A and B are shown apart, each in its own frame.
Chain A
């Protein structure tokens, strides 16, 4: 009665759009990454270059620095978000007056355009009239200038990311905690488990799937971060993350070295895939260990 051909027909517009705008660009970088292609060079054509682009990439200090910065940024931000988000979600499981209002306000940053988040934080830290440098100097005598000190710029990006994305972790954790049955916790308490033990042996194993989904999505998003950090620091020292670096190298105005740009895109895609894969192995391996 249901002809698969009709099914494919219904699916086809989606597939066509995703193949044209999602898969073809991937094929493009896959091919162009192995060519020498500089549109403004004397010879504007594509010349096969083998692994030449990748050889150049391995010795590209700017690229390697950007990878290191991105990893530090993602690590600091995600650890803070998970800890803070879990505590907040735990508090939201109890009832207190005004809970839903607090929750809505807490959710608000999630839906703000990343570029506007960057603008908000830039206004806070701008030298001259931003309150953050002013009060840090007045109260602690600290010279705060993200254009000059890379560590401050990185720290500010992390704090901005925590401001923006902690609500996401709070909400997913809350969803996980709400689905948790009460009995095991009560049982553990009756058996004399401390709060820490209850958390470690009962709550955490139960939350694991939600926690992993959350961390996974956060890692992917943190690696892709471009807009807000660019708006905050304009690609200054300490915030040149890989996404920003690729954007600057491949952006048509900045450089016309399309072959090299493609090879960077390709290696970043590769690193992303490897990271997903490692995470997946870690998850399934640990689960297996537990069953035995």
Chain B
């Protein structure tokens, strides 16, 4: 009897110890970046230690008052938010169509959607660059280096996952509710506004949040399809590393700022991250 209790206690302690260890492995790299962001150039090159000796905020204030950084930040927020809203709207219309109408070849459309998400983005950089600079041109204006270009382009990887995630949600809404609303004289807009959107609300929110993060995190397209005006925060991060010398403290400070949305999202949308990353193939 007592051995059973002892064994269970031992097991709990081992599990706890293991998870404390795992948590340290996860957090120490991030903590080190925080330490670097709180140090001046001179302090950095002394013996590495993980403690923060004093409050040194110059890296943060330098970054935050820099006009280029402010532009990057604004661009990232505008692009991610517009993209998330656009993806939510288009994905809702698309899933409603796929769920309620008998469309020939809708299975193939589904498969094609997922291939858009799986293709290596590096392979499309060149054609997209040519399209952005040459094909989409009105007078002097091109899609290159515009927020609009990024907002539309990010739909390519966000729409597929959004549709896959929302399909399950919309399929779960009984079609009888639509019919009842229609008999009461509601048009398509009315059905969407009064039936589908309220019931699919949580799913839509998750879709929006995850689209926002994916757009916020994107680097490769932003780095190649913008030059000055529409550069985002991730490209700004990469620009810190230069041949002539890198200001590691400011790089760390900027990375810490980039992490904030991720931290919030992990806490708020924890349960849905897996669904979002596996196109709803794995649910929790």
Contacts and interface: CB of A to CB of B under 8 A. Distances in A.
B181 interface: no
Contacts of A8: 97, 101, 103
Contact of B241 (A175, A231, A250): A231
Interface residues of B, number: 90
A123 B248 contact: yes
B173 interface: no
A96 B19 CA distance: 10
Contact of B124 (A9, A26, A103): A26
B97 A18 contact: no
Given A8-B97, A32-B127, A102-B22, A123 B116 contact: no
A258 B113 CA distance: 27
A114 to B, nearest CB: 6
A113 B220 CA distance: 12
Given A11-B98, A91-B19, A226-B220, A120 B128 contact: no
B48 A134 contact: yes
B258 interface: yes
B122 A243 contact: yes
Contact of B220 (A7, A26, A227): A227
A11 B94 contact: yes
A234 B163 contact: no
A28 interface: yes
A190 interface: no
Contacts of B123: 29, 246, 264-266, 268-269
Nearest to B27: A105
6 contacts: A11-B94, A96-B12, A109-B26, A123-B251, A226-B122, A243-B120
Contacts of B213: 111
Contact of A14 (B90, B219, B241): B90
Given A2-B101, A171-B274, A120 B255 contact: yes
B16 A98 contact: yes
Interface in A7-34: 7-11, 13-15, 17-18, 20-22, 24-26, 28-29, 32
- Size class of the A contact interface (CB-based, 8 Å): 35 or more
B30 A120 contact: yes
Contacts of B101: 2-4, 6-8, 10
Contacts, number: 275
A94 B120 contact: no
Say whether chain B's binding surface is mostly helix, strand, loop, or mixed.
helix
A105 B48 CA distance: 25
B172 to A, nearest CB: 18
A251 B127 CA distance: 10
A102 B23 contact: yes
A112 B19 CA distance: 21
Contact of B237 (A22, A119, A175, A269): A119
Interface in A92-115: 94, 96-98, 102-115
Contacts of B274: 168, 171-172, 175
Contacts of A1: 182
Contact of B91 (A14, A88, A94): A14
Interface stretch (B54-62, B64-72, B200-208, B265-273): B265-273
Contacts of A120: 29-30, 32-33, 255
A119 B248 CA distance: 9
Contact of B282 (A213, A234, A250): A213
Contact of A108 (B36, B50, B237, B266): B266
Interface in B224-277: 224, 234, 237-238, 241, 248, 251-252, 255, 258-259, 262-263, 265-267, 270, 273-274, 277
B152 interface: yes
Nearest to B16: A96
A3 B277 CA distance: 33
A123 to B, nearest CB: 5
Nearest to A3: B101
